[in-house]
Amino acid sequence: MTALAPAIHLSDESLPGSYFRNTGLNERQAFCLFSAAIKDDEALIDEIVKSLYVEMKAFDRDRADDTIEVVVDRDPSAAARFRALLKDMLTRRALRPLLA
């Protein structure tokens, strides 16, 4: 049995999603629709995983290998470690123009 993912805490659920303004969907609803659309498209999932894999390896090969290992092993710490790696990757990307 697969454990449920923790709730996603989006900013203000009363605010309409930027892409979905004309539909009246709030952020949580827009997120759920986006998530469902991704989960329903195997080709898109494959592209996301491939891109993440390449970016993670380029960012920090050893840490990527460790993170991939805990994800594959379904270790309880996998989600937190994966999230931390992505956060560091995004932070570095945001700082890149400042460091150049």
- Whether residue 88 is contained in a domain is answered as yes
As for how many domains the chain has, the answer is: 1
Question: Residue 51 sits in which domain range?
Answer: 41-99
* Count of CA atoms in the C-beta half-sphere (13 A) of 66: 10
Task: Quick: pLDDT tens for 18-66.
Answer: 556 677 788 888 889 999 999 999 999 999 999 999 999 999 999 999 9
- Whether residue 57 is contained in a domain is answered as yes
DSSP state of 75: -
The closest alpha carbon to 32, from 48, 13, 50, 46, belongs to: 13
- Whether residue 46 is contained in a domain is answered as yes
- Whether residue 92 is contained in a domain is answered as yes
Q: What are phi and psi of 58, to 5 degrees?
A: -70, -35
Q: Would you state the pLDDT for residue 19?
A: 59
Q: What predicted TM-score, i.e. pTM, was given to this entire model?
A: 0.69
SS3 16: strand
- Whether residue 17 is contained in a domain is answered as no
Rounded to an integer, what distance in angstroms lies between the CA atom of residue 64 and that of residue 40? Answer: 26
Q: Would you state the pLDDT for residue 26?
A: 82
Q: Would you state the pLDDT for residue 6?
A: 47
Determine which of 9-13, 80-84, 94-98 has the lowest per-residue pLDDT on average.
9-13
Task: Quick: pLDDT tens for 4-13.
Answer: 444 555 555 5
Rounded to an integer, what distance in angstroms lies between the CA atom of residue 2 and that of residue 33? Answer: 21
- Whether residue 86 is contained in a domain is answered as yes
- Whether residue 67 is contained in a domain is answered as yes
- Whether residue 93 is contained in a domain is answered as yes
Residue 68, C-beta contacts closer than 8 angstroms, at least 6 positions apart: 53, 56
